Amino acid sequence: MTEKPLTVKIPIVMTIAGSDSGGGAGIAADLKTFAALGVHGTCAITSITAQNTTGVLEAFDLTPAAVASQIEAVCADMDVKWAKTGMLASSEIVREVAKDVRKHGLSLVIDPVMAAEAGGDLLRKEAISVLIEELLPFCKVITPNASEAGVLAGIEVKTPKDAKIAARKIAGLGVETVIVTGGHLDATDLLYEAVSDTFTRIPGTFVKGGTHGSGCTYSAAMTAFLACGKSMEVAARESKKFVVEAILKSLPAGRGVNPVNPLG
């Protein structure tokens, strides 16, 4: 007897990001998070990093054509509505992803990954302006940490007040929703929604544990919750809780910054 096809649809999401050979950040963190939150995760790899908990040793960027081909293969067959970007490596890849996101009508979460916590550039300096001009206007939400928010806004972000100024400046670049994650300030995330010009504080507490992959895990959780139909504020609160748990359950895997554990 042939099995009936499953009729209950689960959301299908995509991560467009780099791989981390240490299994902590990038695609590995994203797919673990998607699995833990009950959505089907697909991926387009932008760069292959040779990396462990002590840092990025080398990165091998894929060609824009290789990135486009992965996105095309998935979107030609599966109904992907929400996607996230992580490490985009180069101007050429940023440009290609901006084209593909529009072509496939993807609702986008941008995690503006610039450097690895343990060291190593993940986005070339010259690609930052391309990210701002060509990709930011096409996203629904961007999730910078304090230093990434500072680079995007062109100011130093050292206090929660600076985070507010930066969030408004980033929204001014054409982004509907900005979440400045607070892991490096006061553990509180700041959600700014430009349409209503409102700030919502999403409180948290500093917890002990490995944080490698925490930004990836947070933005992947946002993507999953939004794909499941949650509002921006609920998704932000749930993602915060999820990443705190993942840090608490982090694994003592290596000698450097240990990876979060989204499957904990």
Instruction: By CB under 6 A, name the binding residues for ligand PLP.
Output: 17-18, 20, 25-26, 49, 51, 56, 86-87, 113, 116-117, 122, 212-216
CB of 51 to ligand PLP, least distance (A): 5
DSSP 148-173: HHHHHHTS---SHHHHHHHHHHHHTT
Instruction: Return d(Cα 112, Cα 145) in angstroms, integer.
Output: 9
Q: How far is the CB of 20 from ligand PLP (least distance, A)?
A: 4
- What is the number of other CB atoms lying within 10 angstroms of the CB of residue 127? 20
For residue 141, which phi and psi values (nearest 5 degrees)? -150, 145
Q: Which residues pair with 62 in a beta bridge?
A: none
Minimum separation from the CB atom of position 29 to ligand PLP (A) = 6
Give the residue among 85, 31, 104, 95 at the shortest CA–CA distance from 65. Answer: 95
Compare residues 190 and 216 and give the one whose CB is closer to ligand PLP: 216
Residue 224 CB, shortest distance to ligand PLP, in Å, is 15
Cβ proximity of 212 and 118 under 8 Å: yes
Q: How far is the CB of 213 from ligand PLP (least distance, A)?
A: 5
Amino acid at 247: I
Can you tell me the distance from the alpha carbon of 40 to that of 122, in angstroms, rounded to the nearest whole number?
26
Nearer to ligand PLP, 46 or 193 (CB): 46
Q: Cβ closer to ligand PLP: 180 or 193?
A: 180
In angstroms, give the least distance from the CB of 58 to ligand PLP. 11
Closest CB to ligand PLP among 194 and 253?
A: 253
CB nearer to ligand PLP: pick between 18 and 204: 18
Nearer to ligand PLP, 56 or 167 (CB): 56
Q: H or E element: which one contains 46?
A: strand 40-52
Residue 152, φ and ψ in degrees, nearest 5:
-65, -35
